[in-house]
Amino acid sequence: MRTVTDVVCPFCGTLCDDLEVDIDDAEKICETRNACIIGDNKFMTAQAPDRHLHPRIRRGGELVECTMDEAINKSAEILVNAKHPLLYGWSSTHCEAQEAGMALAEGVGGTMDNTSVCCHGPSVLAIQTVGIPSCTLGEIINRADTVLYWGCNPVNAHPRHMSRYSLYKRGFFTERGKSDRTEIVVDVRKTETAKNADIFIQPEQGRDYELMNALRVALRGEPLPESVAGISRADIEKVAQTMKDSRFGIIFFGMGLTMTRGKHRNIDIAISLTQDLNTYTKFLIMAMRGHYNVAGADQVSQWECGFPYAVDFARGFPRYNPGETSATDILARKEADAALIIAADPGAHFPIDMVRTLASIPMIAIDPHVTPTTEIASVYIPSAIVGIEEAGSAYRMDNVPIRMRKVVEPPEGVLTDKEIIDRIHRRVMELQGLEVPEVTAVKEPAEASAFDGILQRST
């Protein structure tokens, strides 16, 4: 039996880095400590006996097993033969695979998009419009005395966020944890997060923009109508005063704003409200990023080509125009003639008409597990689970990069996301008649291996 400590959980944007994983002598994961129920289940299902370990290809209407070479070759052919391939997903994998994906997308003149498009893409658009006053989660632990969750439900979606960073955790100026903080929740339902709150505001659905505008008016002490978005003037003034009176406040926001009518404009005004609050006190704002490395997907895309998501390489240079070059819109308009889906499941998470487009074009799906996407694919390649069977870099929701650890070897024959993408790319280059560069083995940084030695302990 051995225990791997300081394991990073590859599930949500909280990216907890304090997990312990017990592995028995047969290299089977038998227990985790410190993870929430979701993180625990990710580790405990990783080695399920019914996990699919072989590539499959669609023949006669069914997905049938094939060799890895066949799957790689067919995937490359699909991409080379397409006029406008879509390469989508990238959020449940590490930055190294994302970087390889950028190169492949450029090589095949495709559109590269990640799951930001259906989570915090509108937040990115707003940040590009008005900027963002933000910070790291460490600042929140030590300083935040007013914490406002707007349209997000961390108890369900980021289960350890409140205990590790934002609410219960004791910090330098918040020695008593929750007792030193005022929790405000704005949601259209009284969620588990809301049930905890010192102040709960339940506006009419889709009217967050007006409510935030009303808060800005209240901050200035200007007159308000009797109620806005179903919230009384007294309650609006109470929230505004609580925010004004805080020493250090933070707004965490989620899909309740980005997916609701107004979309990026809701974020735009949330940021503007935060900026207004800085006239009176210190106030910051942060997006609750969902997939554990969706923030990394934006980072990698930005440092590779200047744009965070929805990047179209069809003209030989990167173009960015969400609404036009976004995966969702491309599928809605049926413009893609092939797709590569990796580390995301649009089959489950895109509106059904977009899924119909995906199911009607040659599609390659790369995922450790069977999903609705893999089952409508033309080629399915199972992959190793990043953060469990493969080390790599990921960005937490506050854009702090964290090195994820490998706790067990992947099943025999199962490749990592990066290996799969690199092999497809090399085959693409062969088919395109380009010179394929020598493979150079990527070594783990020396300090990482030394670190690994310290963090393993035998029991």
Partner 1 sequence: MTSSDPVFTANLITGRTIEQGVAIEGWKDKQEYIDAAGFVHIDPSEFKTLNVWPGSSVTVKSDFGEVIVRAIKSPYGPHPGIVFIPMGPWANQVVGTDTDTTGMPSYKGIIVTITPAPGKKVLGAIALIKMTTQGGVEA
| Contacts to ligand SF4 by CB under 6 A | 9, 11-12, 14-16, 35-36, 38-39, 158-160
Of positions 95, 194, 201, 219, contacts partner 1 by CB under 8 A: 194
Of positions 80, 370, 400, 431, contacts partner 1 by CB under 8 A: 370
* Pair type for strands 227-228 and 231-232: antiparallel
Q: Does 95 bind partner 1 (CB under 8 A)?
A: no
Residue for token pair 């173009």:
319
Of positions 117, 201, 336, 343, contacts partner 1 by CB under 8 A: 117
Least distance in angstroms from the C-beta of 375 to partner 1:
5
- Total binding residues toward partner 1, as defined by CB under 8 A: 84
Q: In the window 151-180, what residues touch partner 1 (CB under 8 A)?
A: 153, 155-157, 159
- Which residues does 50 contact at the CB level (< 8 Å), separation at least 6? none
Q: Does 68 bind partner 1 (CB under 8 A)?
A: no
Specify the residue, 160 or 178, whose C-beta has the smaller distance to ligand SF4: 160
Across 419-433, b (16+ Cβ under 10 Å) vs e yields: bbbbbbbbbbbeeee
Q: Choose from ligand SF4, partner 1, none: what does 178 bind? Cβ within 5-8 Å by kind.
A: none
Q: Choose from partner 1, ligand SF4, none: what does 353 bind? Cβ within 5-8 Å by kind.
A: partner 1
From first CA to last CA, the distance across the chain in angstroms is 6
Q: In the window 395-454, what residues touch partner 1 (CB under 8 A)?
A: none
Backbone angles phi, psi at 122, to 5 degrees: -60, -30
Structure token pair of residue 92: 């449940």
* Pair type for strands 182-186 and 85-89: unpaired
Least distance in angstroms from the C-beta of 141 to ligand SF4:
15
Residue for token pair 């030695």:
453
Alpha helical stretches, state H, 22-87 = 37-44, 68-81
Helices (H) and strands (E) in the chain, counts: 18, 22
**Rounded to an integer, what is the distance from CA 159 to the centroid of its chain?**
15
Q: Does 369 bind partner 1 (CB under 8 A)?
A: yes
- Which residues does 317 contact at the CB level (< 8 Å), separation at least 6? none
Q: Choose from ligand SF4, partner 1, none: what does 160 bind? Cβ within 5-8 Å by kind.
A: ligand SF4
Q: In the window 246-275, what residues touch partner 1 (CB under 8 A)?
A: 255-256, 258-261, 263-264
Q: At what angle do helices 68-81 and 417-431 cross, to 10 degrees?
A: 60
Q: In the window 289-318, what residues touch partner 1 (CB under 8 A)?
A: 290, 309-310
Least distance in angstroms from the C-beta of 348 to ligand SF4:
18
Distance CA 233, CA 215 (A): 10
Specify the residue, 143 or 423, whose C-beta has the smaller distance to partner 1: 423
Least distance in angstroms from the C-beta of 290 to ligand SF4:
10
Q: Is 128 exposed, middle or buried (0-12, 13-18, 19+ CB in 10 A)?
A: middle
Distance CA 149, CA 130 (A): 21
Specify the residue, 163 or 202, whose C-beta has the smaller distance to ligand SF4: 163
Least distance in angstroms from the C-beta of 333 to partner 1:
9
Structure token pair of residue 409: 């070897």
Least distance in angstroms from the C-beta of 35 to ligand SF4:
4
Q: Choose from ligand SF4, partner 1, none: what does 324 bind? Cβ within 5-8 Å by kind.
A: partner 1
| CA distances in angstroms from 317 to 81, 111, 273, 389, listed in the order given | 20, 11, 37, 35
Specify the residue, 15 or 267, whose C-beta has the smaller distance to ligand SF4: 15
Task: Kindly write down the DSSP assignment for every residue of 235-295, as one continuous string.
Answer: HHHHHHHHHHH-SEEEEEE-HHHHSSTTTHHHHHHHHHHHHHHTTTSEEEEEE---BTTHH
Distance CA 97, CA 420 (A): 9
Specify the residue, 296 or 347, whose C-beta has the smaller distance to partner 1: 347
- The piece of 165-173, 276-284, 323-331, 399-407 that touches partner 1 (CB under 8 A) is 323-331
Of positions 7, 8, 21, 46, contacts partner 1 by CB under 8 A: 46
Q: Choose from partner 1, ligand SF4, none: what does 328 bind? Cβ within 5-8 Å by kind.
A: partner 1
Least distance in angstroms from the C-beta of 450 to ligand SF4:
25
Distance CA 241, CA 259 (A): 28
Specify the residue, 271 or 363, whose C-beta has the smaller distance to partner 1: 363
Of positions 103, 130, 199, 332, contacts partner 1 by CB under 8 A: 332
Least distance in angstroms from the C-beta of 220 to partner 1:
29
Q: Does 49 bind partner 1 (CB under 8 A)?
A: no
